[in-house]
Amino acid sequence: MADDAADVAGPLAPFFPVDYAATYLEARSCNQSVDHDLIGVRILASPMAYPAYVSRRVPFPVGSVVVKEEFDDWDLTTRRCEKIKRWTAAIKGPPGTDPALGDWIFQVVSPERVVTAQGQDAKARSCRDCHAICGTAVTPRAVSPGQKPHPSPNDGYDHMCAD
């Protein structure tokens, strides 16, 4: 099949609304991505996702959405991120959606809000390489007595990769 959006089954909609910036909360400010091609990025979490994303101590409710804005124009000295190049997003599905990926569905969205890759389709396969392992450290870190083991920030949290 041609390398275009046609291999995405059915008409797909972005997981986040047009005006997401009005309600979503900034979880990571404008910064350079380590793994997403060294571009300027910013991460926002839906109101439902935010507590889990920042605390890393409570589960993400089904329907949580995390959006990464990727930019064409950025300057890290002034922390300026402008001109959306594309979005990557993830939504938490019900148990059984995709157990190897924590039941998250990943998505890539163009500046025109066209979904160009999603979930199990070929163009979203690379997303799994990293996100399947983020925050899934099987060996808990040494913790003080009485403290619950939880992934260190560097490990990410529940398949979310940001440190």
Binding site for ligand HEC (CB under 6 A): 33-36, 41, 43, 66, 68, 88-90, 106-108, 117, 124, 126-127, 129-131, 160-162
Q: How far apart are CA 66 and CA 77, in angstroms?
A: 25
The nearer residue to ligand HEC, 101 or 144, going by C-beta atoms, is 101
> Rounded to whole angstroms, what are the CA distances from 21 to 25, 42, 46, 91, 123?
8, 12, 9, 16, 26
Query: Least distance from C-beta 163 to ligand HEC, angstroms?
Result: 7
Query: Least distance from C-beta 77 to ligand HEC, angstroms?
Result: 18
Query: Least distance from C-beta 14 to ligand HEC, angstroms?
Result: 12
The nearer residue to ligand HEC, 93 or 147, going by C-beta atoms, is 93
φ/ψ of 94, rounded to 5, equals -65, 160
The nearer residue to ligand HEC, 11 or 134, going by C-beta atoms, is 134
The nearer residue to ligand HEC, 124 or 144, going by C-beta atoms, is 124
Q: How far apart are CA 58 and CA 53, in angstroms?
A: 9
The string of DSSP letters for 91-103 reads EEPPTTS-GGGTT
